[in-house]
A and B are shown apart, each in its own frame.
Chain A
Amino acid sequence: MKILTGNDLVSGDVIWWAGDGWSRQVGDSIDVGQTGDDLARTEEAALRVVGAYVIDATITDEGVRPAHIKDRIRALGPTVRPDLTLKPNDADAGNWVI
């Protein structure tokens, strides 16, 4: 599947296109098919996202999983600071990116 990601213009937070808006959770991502680049332009023009780009991802038992490790780290947060990730109470959260 193709999913769309970028950073929130104001906060810089990593965000994922969820169909009706942006989410902080990669699991909310939807397959944007071939519409990603157009969506990116529209959303950037609307000042809701910066640096938007389309990536490959797969659906796994744990939900949406970006294909590349860099985007998995973006999705989770720094693997060396579990307290600052989206799974702060999961000591093994860092293993998800590998």
Chain B
Amino acid sequence: MYRYDSYDQSMVDARVEEFRDQVQRRLTGALTEDQFKPLRLMNGLYLQLHAYMLRIAIPYGTLSARQMRKLGEIAQKYDRGYGHFTTRQNLQYNWIKLADAPDILAELATIEMHAIQTSGNCIRNISSDQYAGVSADEVADPRPWAELLRQWSSFHPEFTYLPRKFKIAVIASDEDRAAMRLHDIGLKLVERHGAIGAEVYAGGGMGRTPMVAPLIRDFVPEDEIISYLEACLRVYNRYGRRDNKYKARIKILVHELGVEEYQRQVEEEFAHMRTLGLNPPVEELDRIRAFFAPPAYESDLTQDIDRSDPAFALWVDRQVATHKAAGYAIVNISLKPLSGIPGDASAEQIELVASLAEQYSLDEIRVTHAQNLVLPHVKKADLYAIWQKLDEAGLAEANLDLITDIIACPGLDYCALANARSIPLAQKIAQRFADAERQAELGELKLKISGCINACGHHHAGHIGILGVDRKGVENFQLLLGGSGADDASLGQITGPGFSEDGVIDAIEKVTDIYLAQREGDERFLDTYRRIGMKPFKEAIYG
């Protein structure tokens, strides 16, 4: 894992002290709320429905055991004993006191973490593949590039006041586990003629105008990625719609200019950039890359897993993925217990995962955009011991990518922007489909719920998506079908008029019944939908 150098540490420490002074001035009245609000947002501190909320950046979703443990301690000491893992691989605390915020940031700084650029119209936390570095299908570990982008984008003076927020994802596999094409810029590392570079996608995103990012350059050499991104951002910064918040994201610019014209302008800027010597020296990328060198895996480990305990075998089949090193496995920890809150983890659960990482996973944890956790380096021989400990802590649900592995934003239970509650709906859907055999029969089915049009719950990218809306003060839910955030990215289509909470659950049941009746071979729900189209589903739902 990357470790801060003296520059990183001094920047973060200085920001903590700056914010401490700003909070003090707010508490004494030297700053009004209008003056203070942009300052607190630059440090990830929102005022939400019930209290202040602090959003912590987890760079490319990677945590050490030490960092994870501290996150649990902060939840216990300053919050109400839990945290919420988000769809951008971050962590949010829901009950923060303003006076405590600087102390929390100071504690985070001791573990090389912060909340900088987790809000505002800047480049946000870089997201990546939770299997980075351990997946057999990647052409390179994407984390060194993600870290390079973190350093480049942190306090970037030209891109601190962009027209709107800006999200970047980096992957390095054909299988997209990071919803890369639904980011403002998505980078896919590829190998061409023996050289590593990036396919660059720009103008994707969800929100009120969802778009799948088009490819704007099929290869940027690895040592020119920074220059190329500078060019992409410059064009956006210059021409993005600052006059209209709802049209200010890069996706609107790319759409309005057209892909070819945006490409042309970026190439023109890129040609200029190349003359400025902006790319970091190769030595710097090498320095960063060294932090992500593969660990010393043990050899001659057993490949066998004792599957005599049926509950354990079920969990292995669902939650354990193939690791690139023989004798090792990737463990997915579900944060979707059947009556739980998607993405929430108690301080005790956070501590447990930290301990498991320390003992069994070479000190590493990953956070996924689907609001689950990953232990990336587990010996197969240790799987049973890990499962037993997870089971005791309520973390052994075997539902990865099944209908109960629901992505849900905090919704109206916590969020000041929301129009409807996402979490209770997720819980009721999970209860309706709780039967393990039924879930297995339905197979991969990604269900995603957002409590408002901002789409933090990725409803556009759900095989089944749900959008909560406010209909004259009453919660109402629109149903979407056919979305995907994976390498077959697509946007869901609305079925028709919305439903009550109970009504949308009934509608989902009808939709799954149609799928089971119509599927061919080993088609997933999404495959069947794409083959037969919306009509049969619509007829079943609305009659």
State whether the Cβ of B385 lies closer than 8 Å to any Cβ in chain A.
Answer: no
The one of B47, B52, B413 that contacts A73, using a Cβ cutoff of 8 Å: B413
Chain B residues near A81 (CB-CB < 8 A): 341, 413
Within 8 A of B (CB), among A1-36: 7, 9-14
Residues of B within 8 A of A84 (CB): 80, 95
Q: A11-B97, A12-B98 are in contact. Are A80 and B424 (CB under 8 A)?
A: yes
**In the complex with contacts A69-B474, A80-B413, A80-B424, A9-B98 CB distance below 8 A:** yes
A residues within 8 A CB of B281?
A: none
Q: Knowing A12-B50, A77-B50 are in contact, say whether A69-B413 is a contact too (CB < 8 A).
A: no
Residues of B within 8 A of A13 (CB): 50-51
Q: Which residue of A lies closest to B424 (CB)?
A: A80
Contacts of A74 in B (CB 8 A): 49-50
- Whether A68 lies near B51 (C-beta < 8 A) is no
What string of 1s and 0s marks CB contacts (under 8 Å) between B412-435 and chain A? Answer: 111000100101100100000000
Interface residues on B, range: 20 to 34
Q: Determine if B96 and A12 form an interchain contact, defined as CB atoms under 8 angstroms apart.
A: yes
Which residues of chain A (44-63) have a CB below 8 Å from chain B?
44-45, 47, 50-51
B51 x A12 contact (CB < 8 A): yes
Which of A12, A69, A78 is close to B52, meaning CB atoms less than 8 Å apart?
Answer: A12
Are the C-beta atoms of B95 and A12 separated by less than 8 Å? yes
Interface size, chain A (Cβ < 8 Å)? 25
Tell me the complex Cα distance, A78–B80, Å. Answer: 13
* Closest B residue by C-beta to A6: B47
Q: Is B99 an interface residue (CB 8 A)?
A: yes
The reply to whether the CB of B29 lies closer than 8 angstroms to some CB of chain A is: yes
Expressed in whole angstroms, the minimum distance between the Cβ of A42 and any Cβ of chain B is: 13
Q: Other than the known A13-B50, A80-B421, A80-B424, what 20 A-B pairs have Cβ atoms closer than 8 Å?
A: A9-B26, A10-B99, A12-B50, A12-B51, A12-B95, A12-B98, A14-B50, A14-B51, A44-B33, A51-B47, A69-B412, A74-B49, A77-B50, A78-B50, A78-B413, A78-B414, A79-B413, A80-B341, A80-B413, A94-B424
Q: From residue 378 to 418 of chain B, which have CB atoms closer than 8 A to chain A?
A: 412-414, 418
**Chain B residues with CB below 8 A from A91, complex form:** none
For chain B residues 96-111, which have a beta carbon within 8 Å of chain A?
A: 96-99
How far is B473's CA from A67's CA once the two chains are assembled, in angstroms?
8
Closest to B423 in A: A80
Residues of A within 8 A of B341 (CB): 80-81
Across the interface, name the chain A residue whose C-beta is closest to B99. A10
Interface of chain B, main secondary structure:
mixed
Residues of A with Cβ closer than 8 Å to B?
A: 7, 9-14, 44-45, 47, 50-51, 67-70, 73-74, 77-81, 84, 94
Quote the shortest CB–CB distance from A76 to chain B (angstroms): 10
10 closest A-B pairs by CB: A12-B51, A78-B413, A12-B52, A80-B423, A11-B97, A47-B29, A80-B413, A50-B33, A68-B473, A74-B49
- Name the interface residues of B61-85: CB closer than 8 Å to any CB of A: 80
Within 8 Å of chain A (Cβ to Cβ): is B11?
Answer: no
In the complex, whether B475 has a CB less than 8 A from a CB of chain A is: yes
**A12 contacts which of B26, B47, B80 (Cβ < 8 Å)?**
B47
Chain A residues contacting B424 (CB-CB under 8 Å) are 79-80, 94
Residues on the B chain within 8 Å of A10, using CB: 27, 97-99
Q: Are B97 and A7 in contact (CB under 8 A)?
A: no
Q: Which residue of A lies closest to B426 (CB)?
A: A80
Pick 22 A–B contacts, CB within 8 A, sort by A: A7-B51, A10-B27, A11-B98, A12-B47, A12-B50, A13-B51, A14-B49, A14-B50, A67-B473, A70-B412, A73-B49, A73-B413, A73-B421, A74-B50, A77-B50, A78-B50, A78-B414, A79-B424, A80-B413, A80-B421, A80-B427, A81-B413
Contacts of B427 on A, CB cut-off 8 Å? 80
Instruction: For the complex, give the distance between the alpha carbons of A94 and B421 in Å.
Output: 12
Q: Which residues of A are found within 8 Å of B421, using beta-carbon distances?
A: 73, 79-80
Q: Check A69 against B473 for contact (C-beta < 8 Å).
A: yes
CB neighbours (8 Å) of B97 from chain A are: 10-12
Q: How far is the CB of B270 from chain A (nearest CB, A)?
A: 44
Question: Quick check: A9 and B27 within 8 Å, CB to CB?
Answer: yes
Shortest distance between the CB of A98 and any CB in chain B (Å): 8
Q: Which residues of B contact A7 (CB under 8 A)?
A: 47, 51
Nearest-CB residue, chain A, relative to B413: A78
Cα distance A77–B423 in the bound complex, in angstroms: 14
B50 contacts across to A, CB distance below 8 A: 12-14, 74, 77-78
Find the A residue at minimum CB distance from B53: A12
- Give Cα A87–Cα B413 distance, bound, in whole angstroms: 15
User: Interface digits, B4-30 against A, CB 8 Å rule (1 contact, 0 not)?
Assistant: 000000000000000000000011010
A84 and B51 alpha carbons, distance in the complex (Å): 12
A81 to B474, CA, bound (A): 21
Pick the most buried of B27, B95, B421: most chain A CB atoms within 10 A of its CB.
Answer: B421
